Structure 1
Amino acid sequence: MAGLPPGDPQLVSMIVSHLKTQGLFDQFRRDCLADVDTKPAYLNLKQRVDNFVSNHLSNHTWSPHLNKNQLRNNIRQLVLQSGMLEQGVDRIVAQVVDPKINHIFRPQVERVVREFLEAIEPSVAASQQPDELSDEKPNTAGL
């Protein structure tokens, strides 16, 4: 591991896997999803999609022979092609995720990454992270 520079794809992959096994991504997902349905961007997007679907369905007459799966897939494609989801999701992310990045997510990710790096390379991690709690000088008598 000592030979892997910061940003190395193998090291990044290992760190991401570690973050996943620690449940951090799942925790972030739960935290964000808990807030989503109260945000104006979500409510606006839901209203826009509901209106779009209602308008589309108003042009169809129900019959027992109506292929509901085909109609559902057609509506799904029209919604995707309209671009309203991309724009709406960007706004939702701006309202839900962005405010949490610096003061909630980043400190937790940094802590878990630091712990991971210390576990795989204790001497390298220790030399990069000075111990601010100790005023003692390192013992170099045996060197």
Structure 2
Amino acid sequence: MAGLPPGDPQLVSMIVSHLKTQGLFDQFRRDCLADVDTKPAYLNLKQRVDNFVSNHLSNHTWSPHLNKNQLRNNIRHLVLQSGMLEQGVDRIVAQVVDPKVNHIFRPQVEQVVQEFLSPGSCSQEPPVLLTPESEEEEQPSDSSEEGELPPDGPDIFIVPELV
């Protein structure tokens, strides 16, 4: 592992497997699914799909000989073809996942990755964020609150701990 360069597919695969064994992906999925049904994008998509299905079914007359499986598969195909799911899911991700990425998911992933790459050398505290100005002073920047990540940029460094 130590000989693999950053970004090496084998290293990335090992890190992803480690994140999965730590249960982070399952935790992130639970956190996001808990919020989905309250977001406007989900409610809007649900309403659009319900209306689409109702309109399609209104064109069919029920009979005991109706092939329900074929009808169901036909509706599924038409919904997928319409593109409404793709657009709706993109909006749901924007409302549910995107706000959590930098403030919740990223710090947890960075901590687990650092522990994976350097076992035993990490402290239990989250990484301290430094800007070039504060690095000279060896103090965290006052511009961001503890645990809050500033916007990504070339002048931000993540340091495991200050000495």
Report the TM-score, using the length of structure 1 for normalisation.
0.85
Please state how far the C-alpha of 1:36 moved relative to its aligned partner: 0.2
Where does 1:101-112 land on structure 2 (aligned, <5 Å)?
Answer: 101-112=101-112
Map 1:1-143 to 2 at 5 A: 1-119=1-119, 131-132=161-162, 134=163
1:2 is displaced (CA, Å) by: 1.9
1: CA distance, partners of 2:67 / 2:46: 25
CA RMSD of aligned residues (A): 1.6
Aligned residues: 127
Could you tell me the TM-score, scaled by structure 2's length?
0.75
- Shift, 1:129, TM fit: 5.5
In the alignment, what sits opposite 1:125? none
Which amino acid in 2 is paired with 1:76? R
Q: d(CA) in 2 for partners of 1:49 and 1:131?
A: 50
- Higher-Rg structure is 1
Shift of 1:37: 0.2
Runs of 4 or more, structure 1, over 4 Å off, are 128-131
Q: Which segments of 5 or more consecutive residues in structure 1 lack a partner in the other structure?
A: 123-127, 135-143
Closer/same/farther in 2, CA of residues 72 and 107 from structure 1, 3 Å limit:
same
Structure 1 position 43, deviation (Å): 0.2
1:119 CA drift (Å): 2.2
Looking at structure 1, the residues matched to 160 and 95 of structure 2 have their Cα atoms a distance apart, in angstroms, of 36
Please give the alpha-carbon distance, in whole angstroms, between the structure 1 residues aligned to 2:49 and 2:6: 43
Identity over aligned residues, as a percent? 90
Report the counterpart of residue 137 of structure 1 in structure 2.
none
Q: If each structure's helix is expressed as a fraction of its own residues, which one has the higher value?
A: 1
Residue 127 of structure 2 corresponds to none
